């Protein structure tokens, strides 16, 4: 079993680092047995056809599977673990519910990019979530290196709030016949941020790509500017991401809501267990 580090609880140091940088990477937070359970659950998720599963532009390679906590007992149980729920509550300042979960896959050699973006603009514009009081909790299911498409952050960029972004018209290439909500899940971001704005923020704040062994847990703010490059390596990079939202900050779009597996309507607090 992995011995927890000092970052195993929602200490002031962790909260301060998250507020300052927009992210925090924890090592040794999860027992090895939990990582093994998650890893064993993923192939079954990727094999299940249906609207929850999004393919790459090649129409063959799995890119993401959404809402696994709603269909898989192992993932559901994991999302209730105190190591995650208590820290998420500390970072947003109140009890939380699960707004979204997903497994993002960067398949060896062919895993596609995620362009520069902020997560919160999607939850604001498409789901009607009024405040950025959410936190992404990303569990590395594979070792993340500089070669297999790690997330790249502009540290501290979350403090700039929602950046100006231009919505793209139509559906991305390769997804022309998909439902409209699929346009928010592909390699071509729906809300495009000007390269000059990105360059200015990078000039001021720099770049960082959190890396680490399988089992590392990355907490990051919904307004941090980030991207990830294509996976050019022979090593896969799968990540389980759970998005916790403050219970007082639910989705309000009831006119044309996205599917439940993208935007939960149940804002009851997550029971802690596991």
The pLDDT value given to residue 273: 65
* One-character DSSP codes across 95-126: -EEEEEEEEEEE-TTTPPPEEEE-SHHHHHHT
Mean of the per-residue pLDDT values of the chain: 92
Beta strands in the chain (DSSP E): 23-26, 53-55, 62-66, 96-106, 114-117, 134-140, 151-153, 165-167, 191-193, 217-220, 226-228, 237-246
Q: Is residue 257 part of a domain?
A: no
pLDDT at 130 over 90: yes
Is 217 part of any domain?
yes
Q: Identify the pLDDT of residue 61.
A: 96
Of 127, 137, 144, 2, the C-alpha closest to 75 is 137
| β-bridge pairing 53-55 and 191-193 | unpaired
Asked whether residue 264 is domain-assigned, the answer is no
In a domain, 252, yes or no: no
Q: Would residue 34 count as lying in a domain?
A: yes
Residue 255 lies in a domain: no
pLDDT over 70 (residue 72)? yes
- Evaluate if residue 235 carries a pLDDT over 50: yes
- Express as a percent the part of the chain with pLDDT over 90: 84
pLDDT surpassing 50 at residue 1: no
Average pLDDT over residues 42-51: 95
- Specify the higher pLDDT residue, 272 or 102: 102
Give the global pTM: 0.92
In a domain, 265, yes or no: no
Work out how many domains the chain is built from and give that number: 1
Tell me if 19 is assigned to some domain. yes
Q: Which domain holds residue 110?
A: 14-246
What CATH number corresponds to the domain at position 222? 2.60.120.620
């Amino acid at each position: 079993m992995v011995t927890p580090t000092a970052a195993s609880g929602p200490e002031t140091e962790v909260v301060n680092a998250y507020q300052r940088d927009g992210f925090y990477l924890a090592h040794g937070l999860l027992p090895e047995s939990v990582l093994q359970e998650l890893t064993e659950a993923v192939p079954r998720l990727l094999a299940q056809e249906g609207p929850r599963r999004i393919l790459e532009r090649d129409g063959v390679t799995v890119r993401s599977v959404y809402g696994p906590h709603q269909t898989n007992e192992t993932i559901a149980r994991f999302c209730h673990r105190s190591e995650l729920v208590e820290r998420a509550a500390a970072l947003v300042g109140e009890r939380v519910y699960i707004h979204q979960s997903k497994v993002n896959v960067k398949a060896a050699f062919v895993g596609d990019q995620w362009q520069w973006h902020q997560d919160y603009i999607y939850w604001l514009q498409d789901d009607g979530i009024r405040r950025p009081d959410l936190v992404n909790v990303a569990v590395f299911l594979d070792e993340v290196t500089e070669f297999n498409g790690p997330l790249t952050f502009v540290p501290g960029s979350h403090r700039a709030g929602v950046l100006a972004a231009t919505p793209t018209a139509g559906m991305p290439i390769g997804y022309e016949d998909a439902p409209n909500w699929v346009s928010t899940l592909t390699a071509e971001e729906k809300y495009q941020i000007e390269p000059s704005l990105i360059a200015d923020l990078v000039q001021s704040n720099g770049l960082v790509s959190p890396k680490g062994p399988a089992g590392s847990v990355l907490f990051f703010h919904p307004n941090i500017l980030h991207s990830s490059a294509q996976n050019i390596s022979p090593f896969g990079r799968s990540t389980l991401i759970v998005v916790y939202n403050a219970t007082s900050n639910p989705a309000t779009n009831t006119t044309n809501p996205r599917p439940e597996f993208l935007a939960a309507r149940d804002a009851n607090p997550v029971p802690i267990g596991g």
